[in-house]
Each structure stands twice: as C-alpha cells, then as structure tokens.
Amino acid sequence: MVVLMKSGKVRPLWSVPVVLFACSLSFISGFFFASMFFVPDSSDRGAHLLRLTEVTLDHLPALPHGITGEPRPSAIPSQILSWKPLALYFPNFATAEQCEAIIKIAKLSLQPSTLALREGETTESTKGIRTSSGTFISASEDLTGTLDQIEQKIAKVTAIPREHGEAFNILRYEIGQRYASHYDALSPAEYGPQKSQRVASFLLYLSDVEEGGETMFPFENGLNMDGGYDYAKCIGMKVKPRQGDGLLFYSLFTNLTIDPTSLHGSCPVIKGEKWVATKWIRDQIQD
C-alpha cells in the first residue's frame, strides 16, 4: 500500500485501506479466537495477576513471514459489545502490574483535563463537561517500557500502525467526576479544518471502580437519538471498568464519515476512583 508521489517520495496511503483492514482483521481475530479459548471469570480478584493476556497458538503451523511480521500465530481474546457503534472488549489486555506502573507515572504530571473547543466555545462556557484530571504521556517517555508494550498490543488488535496514535491520555476521575457525552472524531463543520481525523479510540481501564464510572454509549443501536437526549445523562450501553481490560470503538464508518452512534461519555464515579489510559488513533501518521 504505497503511492508514488510526484516528488518521487514513497509514502504509505492509509485512510481507507487502514479502516477496512483494521475492521476486518479485528473482527476475524475476535470471532475466531474468542471461541477457542476459555477466559477465566475475574470474579476472583486474587487470580487477577495470573489472568491470561495473550495466547501463542503452538498447535497451528507458523507461516514464513515478512521482515516486519511475527514469528507465529497468537490470539488476544475479544468480544464485540456492539456493532452500532462498533465496540470491542478485550478482557485481560494488560496485567495489574502494568496498570499500576502507568498510574504511578501519570501521578507525576496530572493536570485538570481540557477540551477541544468548538468555534465560539471558551474554557468557561464548557466548565463541567469534563471534570477529570489527566496527562499526556508518549510511550517513549515511559522509561519502564510499559506504555511501549501496551502501544504495540493496541497496534496489533487494531491492525493500525502505532505511528497513527496520539500520545496516551491518562485520566483520573474522582467521586462525582465525569465526561458528558461527546464524539472523539472532530467534525470540520464544528471544529474547523483538521490535519487528520480520529478513526478509533482505545481505552485501557487501569483500575476497577467500586460504583459508577462506566463508559456509556447512549445512542447504541440507534436508541435515544430523537433529539431529546441530555448529554450529561448516563444511559444506553454501559461498560463497567475492570482493571486491565481494554475497550476499542470506532468513530468513523469504513466510508470515513462519522458514526453518530459513537457518541460516548464517562458516567460519574459514585464510589472509588477511576483510572483510564486513552489512545486516540488517527487516519494519518502523527508527528
């Protein structure tokens, strides 16, 4: 997938093929492998450290692979939570140690979270929409190597090269804190012209939350879309955070228009604290 530019430079052409490939690969691997493995129920939290995160499939033949490929087949268990929006869940994506390591680094630079502002909006006018604290950390800044491992694994399950990801946005929500429903994709009509667009979002839950703090999709399967939805209201498909689990959802259809059902938010934390690492994945390589 390369196009020869007029200048003679070769550059990858991602947009459409990336989305199509990413979708099909994630689906195939999810469907195929999820049925092959028993993933232990995590009701026994003590067993958390031992939970399965990736399986090597030694009984399947390893094919000769390209220079950038992998030596053998492997599987990362997944479940499709919804087709509208397209949302996949990855139980045991990271270990408890990895999650704790990320929280530790994030605590050093936590700041009140900000918003991408629409034309005419100000920090004051959008107060209360996003009340968490957060920090941006790129994989290369994490000297423990944890974010590097996670980023590689995200690239693998999305089948989108890691260079397409923004830095990790690591967030902490304390009691009462939330993020009202919003889109991760930035519509040019509202935000002005964009250099690149967010295709998908990957959330890694770094902590359990005792009560509240779910990721909500109020428009799942086209529900609540009659115009009367209050964006602060926690309704629709709700995903309860579990330490180490991952949630991937796509903001764009394969034709690159924004999926209106990808609207989502974070319900207020009622009890406990919520930590999450977010990676926004774009259609263009990020500098």
Ligand X SMILES: *[C@@H]1O[C@H](CO)[C@@H](O)[C@H](O)[C@H]1NC(C)=O
* Contact residues: ligand X, CB under 6 A: 253, 255, 257
Query: CB of residue 87 vs ligand X: minimum separation in angstroms?
Result: 15
Angle (CA) 29 32 33, round 5°: 75
Q: Tell me the backbone φ, ψ of residue 21, rounded to 5 degrees.
A: -65, -45
CB of 223 to ligand X, least distance (A): 17
Report the residue number, 18 or 101, with the smaller CB distance to ligand X. Answer: 18
Tokens of 111: 């700041």
Nearest approach, Cβ of residue 73 and ligand X (Å): 31
CA distances from 105 to 129, 130, 154, 205 (A): 26, 22, 19, 15
Instruction: Quote the crossing angle between the two packed helices 146-158 and 96-107, to the nearest 10°.
Output: 120
Q: Which residues contact 208 (CB under 8 A, 6 or more apart)?
A: 45, 241, 242, 243, 272
Nearer to ligand X, 86 or 96 (CB): 86
**Minimum CB separation from ligand X for residue 248, in Å?**
18
Question: Which is nearer to ligand X, 152 or 257 (by Cβ)?
Answer: 257
Residue nearest to ligand X (CB): 255
At its nearest, how many Å lie between ligand X and the CB of residue 273? 37
Q: Which two tokens stand for residue 287?
A: 């500098």
Least Å from the CB of residue 19 to ligand X: 11
In terms of CB distance, is 215 or 262 closer to ligand X? 262
Whole-number Å distance between alpha carbons of 164 and 285:
4
Q: Which is nearer to ligand X, 36 or 256 (CB)?
A: 256
CB of 209 vs ligand X, minimal distance in Å: 33
d(CA 251, CA 256): 9
What whole-number distance in Å separates Cα of residue 184 and Cα of residue 221?
18
Indicate the residue among 21 and 253 with the shorter CB distance to ligand X: 253
Closer residue to ligand X in complex, CB, 85/165: 85
